A and B are shown apart, each in its own frame.
Chain A
Amino acid sequence: MTWLRRGSSEPLWKEEFPVRTADERYVTRRQLTKFLVLTSLGMFVGNIWILIRSIFYKAPIYGHQPVAQLGEIPVGGVKLFSYPSKDDHCILIRTAEDEYVGYSQKCTHLSCAVYYSQAENRLECPCHKGFFSIKDGAVLQGPPSRPLPRIVLEARGEQLVAIEVKG
C-alpha cells in the first residue's frame, strides 16, 4: 500500500501548487525603480493639481457682519464669533482701549481652536503648543507653518463690523 503514501512531509496542496513564497515576495531592482518612478509621477500630478487649483482660484466675496458693540468687552477680554459662515469660528480680542483684533480660531496646523493667553499676550493652540502673535497672527513657536487668518474689522458707529478675511 505504499502508493497511498505521499513522498514528502509537505502538505498535499503545496505539492500540487508549488509556489515559492520567497520568490513571489522578491522585489527586483527594476520593480523597485518602477515603483519609485511611479511615486515621482504621483508627486508631479500633485503639483499639477495645485497649479490647476491656482489657475481657477476665485477670491471669495465676504459679506459685512457686525461682531460686537464697541466697549462691549473689557481691555484684554475676548469674544467669540463666527465669520464668514457660522462654521468659521473666530476670536475677537480687545488689546487696548481703542484697539481690537480678530483672527480665525482654527489653528493652521491641525485645526484645533486657539485661545488668547492674556498673561503671555499671544494666541495659543493647546493641542501642540503652537503660539501666534497677537499683532499680526504670525507663528511665534510650534508646528504651524502659516499665520492665523486675520479678520479685518471696521468701526461703524457703535458697532464693530467684520468685512474681510486675510491670509
Chain B
Amino acid sequence: MPTSNDLPPQTRGLTAIAGAMSLIVILLIVQIWLLSAALESFLSGKLHTALPAAVFSGVMFLICLGLYAFVDRVDSEVRGSGNGR
C-alpha cells in the first residue's frame, strides 16, 4: 500500500498547501462570526464580550499568519522542485 512518503514532493507539497488554505478559510469563517457576534453584543449594551472576542480574533489572525508563512515556504519549495503554480 503506497504511503504519503512514496508520493512525489510536489504532490505532497500541494496537499499540504491545500490543507493549510482550508484551515485559513475555516478560521476566517469563525472570525467573521466572532466579529458579527461582538458587534451584536456591543449594540445590545453588553460591553464585556469585546475583550475576549478581540483576543480570540487576534489569536486566529496569528494562526492565519503562521499558515501563510507555511504556504509561502512550501509553495517556494514546490516551485523549486517542479513547475506547479
Q: How far is the CA of A9 from the CA of B71 in the complex (A)?
A: 42
| Contact B50 A36, beta carbon cutoff 8 Å | no
- Indicate whether A53 sits within 8 Å of B42 (C-beta atoms), given known contacts A30-B71, A40-B61: yes
* Binary flags per residue of A29-42, CB closer than 8 Å to B gives 1, else 0: 11011101101110
Q: Which of B64-81 contact A (CB under 8 A)?
A: 64-65, 67-68, 71-72, 75
Chain A's interface size range is 20 to 34
The interface-forming segment of A12-20, A44-52, A64-72, A156-164 is A44-52
Q: Bound complex: CA of A167 vs CA of B40, how far in Å? A: 12
Q: Bin chain B's interface residue count.
A: 35 or more
Question: Which residues in A have their C-beta under 8 angstroms from that of B10?
Answer: none
Q: Which of B34, B38, B53, B57 has the most CB of A within 10 A?
A: B57
- Chain B neighbourhood of A147, CB < 8 A: 44
Shortest Cβ distance from A145 into chain B, in angstroms?
Answer: 6
Chain A residues, Cβ within 8 Å of B28: 36, 39-40, 43
CB neighbours (8 Å) of B75 from chain A are 28-30
Q: Do A50 and B50 touch (CB < 8 A)?
A: yes
| B9 located at the interface, meaning its Cβ lies under 8 Å from any Cβ of chain A in the complex | no
Given the known interface contacts A48-B54, A57-B47, the answer about A33 and B60 at a Cβ–Cβ threshold of 8 Å is no
Q: Which chain A residues have a beta carbon within 8 Å of chain B's beta carbons?
A: 26, 28-30, 32-34, 36-37, 39-41, 43-44, 46-48, 50-51, 53-55, 57, 145-147, 167
15 contacts between A and B (CB under 8 A): A30-B71, A36-B28, A37-B24, A37-B64, A37-B65, A40-B28, A40-B64, A44-B57, A44-B60, A44-B61, A50-B38, A50-B39, A51-B50, A147-B44, A167-B44
Which 10 A-B pairs have CB atoms at the shortest separation, nearest pair first?
Answer: A54-B50, A43-B31, A47-B57, A54-B47, A47-B54, A40-B64, A44-B61, A51-B54, A51-B50, A37-B68
